[in-house]
């Protein structure tokens, strides 16, 4: 077993991640949650998810509208950034989930998390999982309640369709890993995938606030990068506002009249970050509880200590790559399920193909 | 990670024509050249297929998986917390293999039928390796007059039936140093053991010590090996050589034009009438014969070629009777007559070979002997163009069964490949050579190119009648015979001397 450099990580009573690169508590909890759902599927049949679909899933190119905002006062909101090279560790966290197949009573899915550490530009990763889950209408409440164990129970639990539960499961697992890192990392920059918005299933406001508070108590800064955003300002997508600006720079959109309603669920201060000269721009949320200057400084530290791939932090990019499921993963997990749980594979019936023959294109619901 | 009890069974994946693709998983000990039996209990049939290539299965997402995985020796970069050990399943799938197989028939009621127009069930059929011993039994190989060739990959001894070489056309080919001559000696001695007469056209003098063991003592074949060196212990008189044979030498070996050949025939008849068919009298007759000066010059130049070859003599005491030797060999229960061509010039070589072939044809057509197995090493160096067609069409009717041995497959006429009954292929890597050998009718082109390319030295892919058309790879057994065909090395000799 490998021991990662410890200097930046303080020992805490509950979590010591990544002292041994394993948080047994976290694994145990996820494993227990997984097994609790899986024991119901022995000897059942399941329709596997078509891995060809996975192969064909290509991200749609983003439209590149570039509004001409020259001469407007928006440039006053633009802050050029200077990298600070001080050896601050960077930790990227991401979690992926995938539907593996369907049983008579529910869906089979798998979740995997990845943490990538950048210590002086030496990258190390830990993959947690994959953990298979059999989610049914009957067990999903219990599952989320179990996974919520460390967090506050969802007061406004509302039933969601099974198809949405994978996203919710991912959010919960992600929170677990984020909690683990928030406790164990010290004086580090912690990168989350997505935004610092709370208040949706699997991401309770109190939990996210608690996570941010914990991170701050360990002198960490949490920065959340969204790869794609739909937030607009005067009809322009916010990331397009800095398309013609020279990076690296931060563009604060916090006080602009945006297409979203601002409320207490936004736990981050919202920016558009263009962190490489010719890179792309991303929505960046910085923990609102940090002083504006401290948040800015964290981004400059990120610039100084992290590699940027087209303006996106390498640790987060790697975390995404390591957690993402490939078609090979799906086949491997399906093979595991058939062998360990005696599941029998049934050909997936395609209503589209049955109805439309060769014209039955598009994904099945 | 070990997956001891998790080995998945092989499954039929795809069948196109006589090609079957089988999905196989790590843990299956599979090699090219091995046979599989695909049993489908419902129709009560089993398909026999030979693995001709082992490829990685085209598993979706493998490229992404490989790109993101750290180097195998660089485990410090990352770790997996995978309490359910699912990654081992994922890696197991990544290592799935696709076995490309050629279908060679169907077993039904314990008998082999060449049909392959049925499909075994993908889900219900079971696939397992067919041991060579079982295949030999099923296909009735290794019966009759056995010639032991060696052992197969699963250490099963492989023998071929000498009868399957009887009346057949055979080819032994492979690149230099792979053991062609060794195999050809093994076959020649195997045939002799069963009473056959073998004539070897030995271009490099490799067969001259067939009667000696490695340490130089006489072996059990010694009395049956007759080495004839032209100009030394192999001389003939014109008296023994009838006009037909001489005309073949003059026409094919010495390229005598038609007009001159006609005049020569007249001269020969005149000498026959006077009972003076000798070299000396032939020279005088050409000198005296009334004919065009150009014709005379042409006849003289050929006459001197005959004289200077040293192969012809007027001394009956030093002349050798090939016919008598062939008869003796047959009556003594077989033997090898080695025509040692190693110290013979190319022109003289052709003369000697023409004489031997004409003589063989003569004694065989007159049924003075039953049959002869002819082993021709690098035949392109001494055989005339028209012999190739003769070998395929006429010769076998006389009882002359040829085995061509060469390391240059392009030197053998394409017809020979098409008509060959048995082919012994040793290693080739050159694409051009592989393409040529794959033209043989007895061989599936893909099988030949795929298996032969990876054959180690002294391993041979046997095809044709001798193996009932089931290609089998055999490691040719060693022989206690003094080897002469080995390359003579300069540096090795220096080392030994040192």
How do residues A34-72 score in pLDDT, each as one tens digit? 888 887 776 677 777 665 444 444 333 333 333 444 444
pLDDT tens track for A182-239: 988 899 999 999 888 877 766 677 888 888 999 999 999 999 998 877 777 766 777 7
Positive or negative: CA dihedral B207, B208, B209, B211:
positive
- B464 and B375 fall within a common domain: yes
Exposure of B367 by Cβ count < 10 A (0-12 exposed, 13-18 middle, 19+ buried)? exposed
The whole-number pLDDT of residue A103 equals 83
What residue in A sits closest to B65 (Cα-Cα)?
Answer: A326
Give me A362's structure tokens: 């598009």
Most A CBs within 10 Å, among B27, B61, B74, B123, to test the A interface: B61
**Chain-chain contact of B86 with A132 (C-beta, under 8 angstroms):** yes
Of residues A130, A321, A333, nearest to B68 (C-beta): A321
pLDDT at A157 over 70: no
**Chain-chain contact of B77 with A336 (C-beta, under 8 angstroms):** no
- B153 and B95 fall within a common domain: no
- B388 and B471 fall within a common domain: yes
**Chain-chain contact of B84 with A123 (C-beta, under 8 angstroms):** no
The whole-number pLDDT of residue A280 equals 84
Residue B451 domain flag: yes
Q: What's the CA gap between A306 and A189, in Å, rounded?
A: 10
**Chain-chain contact of B81 with A328 (C-beta, under 8 angstroms):** no
- B247 and B381 fall within a common domain: no
- Residue B431's Cβ-side half-sphere holds a number of Cα atoms within 13 Å equal to 0
- B415 and B284 fall within a common domain: no
**Chain-chain contact of B81 with A131 (C-beta, under 8 angstroms):** no
- Residue A44's Cβ-side half-sphere holds a number of Cα atoms within 13 Å equal to 18
**Chain-chain contact of B92 with A327 (C-beta, under 8 angstroms):** no
Q: What's the CA gap between A27 and B165, in Å, rounded?
A: 70
Residue B136 domain flag: no
Choosing from B279, B309, B339, the residue where a domain stops is: B309
The whole-number pLDDT of residue A50 equals 60
Instruction: Measure B46 CA to nearest chain A CA, in Å.
Output: 26
Give me A83's structure tokens: 């990298």
What DSSP assignment string belongs to B417-470? HHH-SEEEE-----HHHHHHHTT-TTS-HHHHHHHHHTPPTTEEEEEEGGGTT-
- B415 and B488 fall within a common domain: yes
**By three-state DSSP, how is residue B247 classified?**
helix
Percentage of chain A lying above the pLDDT 70 cut: 72
The whole-number pLDDT of residue A145 equals 76
Residue B226 domain flag: no
Give the CA distances from residue A165 to residues A136, A139, A162, B86, B192, in Å, rounded to whole numbers and listed in that order: 10, 11, 5, 22, 81
Residue B232 domain flag: no
Helix, strand counts (H, E) of chain B: 16, 19
Which residues from chain B sit within 8 angstroms of residue A132, using beta carbons?
Answer: 84, 86
Q: Which residues of A lie inside 8 Å of B (Cβ-Cβ)?
A: 1-2, 21-23, 27-28, 31, 34, 51-52, 54-55, 110, 123-132, 321-322, 326-333, 335-336, 339-340
- B350 and B480 fall within a common domain: yes
State which residues of chain B have pLDDT below 50: 1-6, 75-76
Residue position matching structure tokens 């001695």 = B189
- B337 and B194 fall within a common domain: yes
Domain span at residue B301 reads 243-309
pLDDT tens track for A73-83: 566 677 888 99
Q: What are residue B454's phi and psi, to 5 degrees?
A: -105, 10
**Chain-chain contact of B79 with A1 (C-beta, under 8 angstroms):** yes
pLDDT at A12 over 80: no
Q: Are A79 and A250 in contact (CB under 8 A)?
A: yes
What residue in B sits closest to A3 (Cα-Cα)?
Answer: B76
Positive or negative: CA dihedral B453, B457, B463, B469:
negative
The whole-number pLDDT of residue B285 equals 92
Other C-beta atoms lying within 10 Å of the C-beta of residue A66: 12
Band of pLDDT at residue A2, cut at 50, 70 and 90: very low
Q: Are B411 and B382 in contact (CB under 8 A)?
A: no
**Chain-chain contact of B82 with A332 (C-beta, under 8 angstroms):** no
The residues with which B151 forms a beta bridge, in sequence order, are B157, B475
**Chain-chain contact of A130 with B68 (C-beta, under 8 angstroms):** no
Q: Are A15 and A214 in contact (CB under 8 A)?
A: no
Other C-beta atoms lying within 10 Å of the C-beta of residue B110: 7
- B484 and B428 fall within a common domain: yes
**Chain-chain contact of A335 with B93 (C-beta, under 8 angstroms):** yes
What residue in B sits closest to A125 (Cα-Cα)?
Answer: B78
**Chain-chain contact of A126 with B78 (C-beta, under 8 angstroms):** yes
B82 touches chain A (CB under 8 A): yes
B60 touches chain A (CB under 8 A): yes
**Chain-chain contact of B60 with A332 (C-beta, under 8 angstroms):** no
**Chain-chain contact of B84 with A31 (C-beta, under 8 angstroms):** yes
Band of pLDDT at residue A259, cut at 50, 70 and 90: low
Q: What's the CA gap between B59 and A332, in Å, rounded?
A: 10
Band of pLDDT at residue A4, cut at 50, 70 and 90: very low
Q: What's the CA gap between B78 and A125, in Å, rounded?
A: 4
pLDDT tens track for A121-155: 888 999 998 999 988 888 878 777 777 665 555 54
B62 touches chain A (CB under 8 A): yes
Residue B414 domain flag: yes
The whole-number pLDDT of residue A224 equals 93
Report chain B's terminal Cα–Cα distance, integer Å: 51
Q: Which residue has the higher pLDDT, A98 or A25?
A: A98
**Chain-chain contact of A130 with B60 (C-beta, under 8 angstroms):** no
Instruction: Measure A288 CA to nearest chain B CA, in Å.
Output: 32
Q: Are B200 and B189 in contact (CB under 8 A)?
A: no
Q: What is the mean pLDDT of residues A112-119?
A: 92
Q: What's the CA gap between B182 and B239, in Å, rounded?
A: 38
Of residues A129, A321, A328, nearest to B82 (C-beta): A129
Q: What's the CA gap between A186 and A201, in Å, rounded?
A: 29
Which residues from chain B sit within 8 angstroms of residue A181, using beta carbons?
Answer: none
Which residues from chain B sit within 8 angstroms of residue A125, using beta carbons?
Answer: 77-79
Instruction: Measure B127 CA to nearest chain A CA, in Å.
Output: 19
Rg of chain A, C-alpha, whole Å: 22
The whole-number pLDDT of residue B311 equals 92
pTM value? 0.73
Residue B282 domain flag: yes
Which residues from chain A sit within 8 angstroms of residue B84, using beta carbons?
Answer: 31, 34, 130-132, 336, 340
Task: Check residue B181 and report its DSSP letter.
Answer: H
What residue in A sits closest to B88 (Cα-Cα)?
Answer: A332
**Chain-chain contact of A332 with B93 (C-beta, under 8 angstroms):** yes
Residue B304 domain flag: yes
Report chain A's terminal Cα–Cα distance, integer Å: 43
Q: Which residue has the higher pLDDT, A348 or B312?
A: B312
Other C-beta atoms lying within 10 Å of the C-beta of residue B156: 16
Of residues A124, A321, A335, nearest to B89 (C-beta): A335
The whole-number pLDDT of residue A360 equals 66
The domain total for chain B is 3
């Amino acid at each position: 077993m490998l021991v990662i450099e410890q200097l930046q990580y303080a020992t805490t009573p509950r979590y010591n991640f990544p002292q041994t690169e394993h948080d047994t508590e976290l694994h145990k909890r996820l494993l227990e949650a997984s097994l609790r759902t899986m024991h119901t599927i022995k000897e059942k049949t399941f329709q596997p998810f078509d891995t060809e679909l996975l192969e064909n899933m290509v991200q749609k190119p983003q439209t590149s509208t570039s509004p001409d905002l020259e001469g407007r006062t928006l440039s006053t909101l633009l802050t050029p950034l200077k990298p600070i090279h001080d050896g601050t560790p960077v930790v990227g966290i991401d979690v992926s989930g995938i539907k593996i197949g369907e049983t008579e009573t529910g869906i089979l899915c798998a979740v995997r998390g990845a943490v990538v550490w950048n210590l002086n530009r030496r990258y190390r990763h830990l993959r947690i999982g994959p953990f298979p889950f059999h989610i049914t209408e009957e067990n999903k409440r219990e599952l989320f309640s179990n996974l919520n164990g460390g967090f506050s129970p969802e007061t406004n639990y509302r039933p969601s369709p099974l198809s949405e539960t994978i996203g919710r499961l991912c959010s919960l697992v992600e929170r677990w890993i984020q909690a683990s890192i928030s406790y164990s990392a010290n004086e580090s920059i912690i990168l989350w995938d997505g935004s610092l918005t709370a208040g949706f299933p699997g991401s309770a406001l109190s939990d996210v606030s608690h996570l941010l508070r914990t991170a701050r108590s360990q002198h960490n800064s949490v920065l959340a990068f969204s790869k794609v955003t739909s937030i607009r300002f005067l009809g322009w997508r916010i990331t397009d506002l800095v398309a013609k600006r020279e990076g690296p720079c931060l563009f604060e959109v916090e006080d602009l009249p945006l297409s979203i309603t601002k409320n207490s669920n936004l736990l981050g201060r919202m920016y558009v970050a263009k962190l490489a000269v010719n890179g792309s721009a991303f929505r960046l949320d910085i923990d609102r509880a940090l002083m504006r200057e401290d948040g800015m400084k964290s981004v400059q530290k990120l610039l100084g200590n992290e590699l940027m791939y087209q303006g996106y932090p390498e640790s987060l990019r790697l975390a995404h790559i390591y957690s993402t499921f490939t078609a090979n993963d799906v086949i491997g997990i399906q093979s595991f399920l058939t062998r360990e749980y005696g599941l029998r594979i049934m050909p997936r019936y395609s209503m589209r193909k049955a109805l439309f023959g060769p014209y039955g294109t598009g994904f099945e619901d | 990670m070990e997956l001891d009890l998790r080995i998945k069974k092989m499954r039929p994946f795809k069948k196109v024509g006589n090609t079957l693709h089988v999905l196989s998983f790590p843990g299956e000990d599979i090699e090219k050249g091995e046979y599989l039996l695909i049993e489908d209990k419902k129709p009560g049939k089993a398909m026999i297929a030979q693995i001709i290539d082992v490829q990685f299965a085209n598993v979706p997402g493998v490229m992404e998986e490989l790109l993101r995985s750290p180097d195998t020796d660089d485990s410090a970069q990352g770790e997996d917390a995978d309490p359910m050990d699912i990654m081992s399943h994922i890696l197991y799938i990544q290592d799935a293999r696709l076995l490309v197989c050629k279908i060679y028939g169907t077993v039904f009621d314990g008998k082999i039928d060449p049909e392959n127009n049925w499909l075994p069930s993908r889900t219900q059929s079971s696939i397992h390796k067919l041991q060579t011993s079982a295949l030999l039994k099923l296909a009735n190989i290794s019966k009759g007059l056995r010639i032991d060739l060696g052992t197969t990959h699963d250490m099963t001894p492989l023998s071929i039936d000498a009868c399957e070489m009887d009346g057949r056309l055979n080819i032994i080919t492979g690149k230099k140093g792979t053991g062609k001559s060794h195999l050809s000696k093994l076959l020649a001695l195997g045939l002799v053991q069963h009473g056959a007469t073998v004539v070897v056209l030995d271009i490099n003098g490799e067969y001259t010590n067939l009667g000696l063991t490695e340490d130089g003592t006489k072996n059990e074949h010694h009395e049956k090996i007759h080495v004839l060196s032209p100009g030394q212990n192999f001389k003939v008189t014109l008296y023994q050589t009838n006009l037909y044979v001489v005309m073949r030498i003059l026409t094919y070996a010495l390229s005598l034009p038609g007009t001159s050949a006609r005049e020569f025939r007249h001269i020969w008849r005149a000498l026959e009438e006077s009972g003076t068919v000798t070299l000396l009298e032939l020279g005088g007759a050409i000198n005296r014969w009334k004919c065009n000066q150009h014709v005379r010059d042409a006849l003289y130049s050929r006459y001197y070629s005959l004289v200077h070859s040293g192969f012809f003599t007027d001394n009956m005491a030093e002349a050798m009777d090939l016919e008598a030797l062939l008869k003796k060999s047959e009556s003594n229960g077989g033997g090898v007559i080695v025509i040692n061509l190693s110290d013979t010039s190319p022109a003289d070589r052709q003369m000697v070979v023409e004489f031997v072939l004409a003589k063989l044809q003569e004694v065989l057509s007159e049924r003075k002997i039953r049959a002869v197995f002819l082993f021709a090493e690098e035949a392109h160096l001494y055989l005339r163009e028209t012999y190739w067609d003769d070998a395929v069409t006429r010769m076998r009717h006389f009882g002359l069964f040829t085995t061509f041995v060469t390391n240059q497959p392009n030197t053998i006429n394409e017809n020979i490949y098409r008509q060959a009954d048995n082919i012994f292929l040793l290693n080739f890597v050159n694409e051009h050579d592989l393409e040529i050998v794959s033209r043989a009718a007895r061989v599936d082109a893909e099988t030949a190119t795929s298996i032969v390319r990876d054959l180690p030295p002294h391993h041979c892919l046997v095809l044709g009648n001798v193996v009932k058309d089931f290609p089998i790879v055999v490691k040719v057994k060693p022989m206690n015979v003094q080897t002469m065909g080995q390359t003579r090395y300069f540096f090795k000799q220096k080392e030994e001397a040192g």
